[in-house]
Amino acid sequence: MIEQQNLIYVGVDLHKQHHTAVIIDCWSKKLGELKFDNKPSAFPLLVKELKKYTKKGLSVVYGLEDVGGYGRGLAVYLKDSQCWVKEVNAKLANARRQSHVTVQKSDSWDAECVAKVLRDELERLPDAKPIDLYWAISQLVTQRKWLAKSLTATVKKLHQQISYPYPSYKKFFSEVDGKTALAFWEAYPSPYRMKDLSEEALAEFLRSHSNNGLSNKKANQILSLIAADGDTYRDFQDSRDSVVVSQVKTAGFLKKEIARVEVEIEQLMGQLGFQLESMTGIDVVTAAELVSEIGDVHRFSNADKLARFAGIAPVIVGSGNKSRNYKSKQGNRVLHDIFKSLAIRQILVTRTKKEPRNPYFHSYYEQKQTEGKTKQQAIICIMRKLVNIIYAMMKKKSAYIMLDAPIKQVG
């Protein structure tokens, strides 16, 4: 490990069009500043500028907040140039900025705060490893999240629109955005479109779109509900119907796009060789979300550092002879939420047999509550254990082995 007095620290504030770099020494003295465009042809200017400060045997370490977004190009260039690059958590840099009496906000000051965090937290910060495969997976995960969010919004609007012509629409199908349901709303956006439609004709329509899963019984039910609702025809019905049809087509498109993206995610995940899906509660999408946030797991020397990166490790606050652990509000909050969701899945029980999905964690959860911890504290304990497991599975590319629930001792 290089001694701190032999290092020059470079904090970079990243933006879409340009970056700002601030250079400090081991005593946090500002040595220089450079603003350069966010494009590969401009990156050598930064490395050239740093040569002015490394003539006396000093080494350079770079700190970047966003190595997966606007800073990815620079991170790749620096790594290819054999430079030492660290990933600085944005919350740490923001906390440093807010800690000053007079809060400033400028590219130069933001970059200097990144550099100071880099100097103080050097050994605890993960190395930046912008590998193309991980980056591609993270982009697909982000795209899927956007598509899923758009689909949720579209379905919500669809609920509102079809409730006008079909007040009893929720009784028609189990899911308003299911395959057969969407086909029905598109063909018959209002009862006005079902004039003179016989029960047998509707039954044939339902059979053709549900692989013979729905037939005359469902057709009779729908027609009876429509008759019971009464006349819902309104002026400009054609325009209202066009809105429903548009939303149905949008929902159908988004569903197809989500399915296509998931296929791409599965193909890329296959190249990594992980077996994360072998664990209860992890499908290929959840596995990809973990990978997109963690990146190359080897940049964390142990599970403790991954826990701190995810904001799961407790913060110890002490004074005198007293100390207390507090929940951390720092770290990667997206990764924190993924682990929390995964922890909750471990303690769920099956709907049919009412058996724990993961007997070991379910028993562990109950044990922690018996020891006096709250439900939320018990979940955090599970999250911490999950970090150890996920870390080992990713590092060794091993499968999850379901453990039996520990035998409860009767006191």
- Return the domain boundaries, the chain: 4-130, 135-268, 273-396
107-120 and 90-98 helices, crossing angle to 10°: 110
The topology (CATH level 3) of 135-268 is Helix Hairpins (1.10.287)
The mean pLDDT value for 3-20 works out to 91
| Contacts of 411 by beta carbon, 8 Å cutoff, 6+ apart | none
Q: What is the pLDDT of residue 411?
A: 45
Q: What is the mean pLDDT of the chain?
A: 90
Q: Is the pLDDT of residue 313 over 90?
A: no
Q: Is the pLDDT of residue 334 over 90?
A: yes
The pLDDT, as a whole number, for residue 320 is 56
Res 406 pLDDT > 70: no
Could you tell me the pLDDT band of residue 325, with boundaries at 50, 70 and 90?
A: low
Rounded to whole angstroms, how far apart are CA atoms 190 and 161? Answer: 10
The angle subtended at Cα 370 by Cα 367 and Cα 374, nearest 5°, is: 95
Which is nearest to 208 in space by CA: 174, 176, 180, 173?
180
First to last CA, the chain: 51
CATH 3.30.420.40 fits 4-130, yes or no: yes
Q: Average of pLDDT values for 370-380?
A: 92
Q: How far is CA 152 from CA 57, 88, 144, 173, 176, in A?
A: 57, 33, 12, 18, 12
**What is the rounded average pLDDT of the residues 28-56?**
91
Residue 363: CB atoms within 10 Å: 18
CB-count exposure of residue 100 (10 Å: 0-12, 13-18, 19+): exposed
Stretch 157-161: mean pLDDT: 96
28-37, 174-183, 306-315, range with the lowest pLDDT? 306-315
Nearest to 21 by CA among 95, 75, 59: 75
258-308 pLDDT per residue, tens: 999 999 999 999 999 999 999 999 999 999 999 999 999 998 989 999 998
Residue 265's pLDDT is 97
Q: Quote the pLDDT of residue 5.
A: 80
- Place 69 in a pLDDT band, splitting at 50, 70 and 90: confident
